[in-house]
Structure 1
Amino acid sequence: MIELYDKMDKSLNDYQFTINYNDIDINNNKCIVDLNLDITLTYQRGSDKEYTTNDTIKHYIILNKHKSDWSIIKDVYNPLEGPDRKAVSDDNYNNKLYSGLKEAYKSIDKKALSVKKWVKKSKKISENIQSNEDIRIQYEPTPGAYRAIQYARRYYENYNTKYPEFNNDCTNFVSQCLHAGNIPMSRPSWYCFNEDDYSTSWIRTVELYDYLTDDKGFSSRSYDGYNVTEINDDTRPGDVIQFYNALKSRYAHTVIASKIDSEDGVLYCGHTSNRKDKPLIDAFDSTWYYTQLRLIEIEYPDGM
């Protein structure tokens, strides 16, 4: 990450954290520590003013005991998706992590160039706004998109108890938003009634994409090569964005665009790490294993 930040002319000026332990499970010579890491990071891009982000990230720390000494063998976490509980028992996890890192590193220059391009453009937009030049179209959400976004802002942190909550909850949350925006459930293709009665397309990233683009016919655009500038230009409030995870070799995270901001570009809401109106650019340039994005353009039905 340090090399990526250097290439983007971005620096980490301050790092503060607090560890909160949820559970410690010791079984013979193996220990699993379930904890939350509350972190406050202060960044700076070039000569711009500093900005601060606050996050709570869940970790599973796995330790092995050899003789009388404990050593950490694995740290399972994901800032946006939440940690994969299955990875705790995956003996090949560290190899997958290394392979994903190598894949992401191959395109580090492309990612840095794309982010710097967007930062340069956003500065120009900000300067023109200050001089009263309206050069950016401000997309107002349609009524259906507005309802989806209001739902996202209401339940991004206090989960709606009408729906089940999953360990990796991002796609479940976005499906709820889409349904709140007047997209009807469809059994057996896309629905969720309780924890025992739901479709995989409701809760899984790839399956939701297949349903929306195949069954519903919504259009989709993929942005390979880290082109965050183009996705900021094309996204409308209420559209769905998915992140490609190099560790998993597939798209693995889903969010909903909540606003198009004049300076920060696309803002989004999401789970599993709870997010409300967060800049897409910050999520993308701060997480090394997300290597591309795709946009699903949603046309919400009319009606109340």
Structure 2
Amino acid sequence: MGRNPRYLDFEHLGGDCTNFASQCIYAGSRVMNYTPTLGWYYNSSSDRSPSWTGVEYLYRFLVKNRSVGPYGAVTDEGGVQPGDIVQLGNRNGYYHSPVIVAVEGGHILVAAHSYDAYMRPLDSYVYEQARFIHIQGARKW
């Protein structure tokens, strides 16, 4: 998949998956939360929130955000829709944030950076646990 030149490619800095997920969420919400440290924003590679590129930080931001910006809730596999996020993990924690692009015939299909993928079946990944974040909306106060 091509890279958006407005954002640094973090592929060689630990992975680009959550940066890609954040770009997708931003494309749908068109609003960032500039709260220092706990917000969700990207101005440059050196001026961004931890939640823009960090798997666990993005999860915490989305499910706890009560202010400006996108917000979500944990759901199960049956409650996902295109635009939602799935995070894959193992016993050491969560490490990957693909974006759900379709649900077809009971199969979840995702797009991702860090091992670029589009319309990849979720069940083709190797992981021990998954959590699903349904993007409920975005506040633009």
Into which bin does the TM-score normalised by the smaller protein fall?
0.7 to 0.9
Match of 1:178 in 2: 25
Q: What is the rounded CA distance, in whole Å, between the counterparts of 1:295 and 1:206 in structure 2? A: 13
Q: What is the rounded CA distance, in whole Å, between the counterparts of 1:171 and 1:239 in structure 2? A: 13
Match for residue 241 of structure 1 among 67, 77, 86 = 86
Structure number with higher helix proportion: 1
Amino acid at match of 2:114: T
1:266-295 residue CA offsets vs partner (Å, 9 max, x unmatched): 100001110001111112xxx2xx211000
Q: What is the rounded CA distance, in whole Å, between the counterparts of 2:115 and 2:99 in structure 1? A: 13
| TM-score normalised over the length of structure 1 | 0.41
Match of 1:30 in 2: none
Q: What's the secondary structure of 1:238's corresponding residue?
A: coil
Match of 2:103 in 1: 260
1:11-42 residue CA offsets vs partner (Å, 9 max, x unmatched): xxxxxxxxxxxxxxxxxxxxxxxxxxxxxxxx
Cα root mean square deviation, aligned: 1.9
Larger radius of gyration: 1
The Cα shift of 1:208 comes to: 0.3
Match of 1:220 in 2: 74
Higher relative contact order (CA 8 A, sep 6+): 2
| TM-score normalised over the length of structure 2 | 0.85
Pairing 1:160–2:4 present: yes
1:179-234 residue CA offsets vs partner (Å, 9 max, x unmatched): 0002511113111111111111100000000000001452113xxxxxxxx61x22
Aligned length: 130
**Superposition map of 1:131-146 within 5 A:** none
Q: What is the rounded CA distance, in whole Å, between the counterparts of 2:6 and 2:21 in structure 1? A: 15
Residue pair 1:259, 1:277 contacting (<8 A) in 2 also: yes
Match for residue 292 of structure 1 among 108, 122, 129 = 129
1:91-148 residue CA offsets vs partner (Å, 9 max, x unmatched): xxxxxxxxxxxxxxxxxxxxxxxxxxxxxxxxxxxxxxxxxxxxxxxxxxxxxxxxxx
Q: What's the secondary structure of 2:114's corresponding residue?
A: coil
The Cα shift of 1:301 comes to: 4.3
1:222-252 residue CA offsets vs partner (Å, 9 max, x unmatched): xxxxxxxx61x22111111000133xx1111
Q: What is the rounded CA distance, in whole Å, between the counterparts of 1:183 and 1:252 in structure 2? A: 25
**Superposition map of 1:1-304 within 5 A:** 157-166=1-10, 167=12, 168-187=15-34, 188=36, 189-216=39-66, 217-221=71-75, 231=77, 233-246=78-91, 249-262=92-105, 265-283=107-125, 287=126, 290-301=127-138
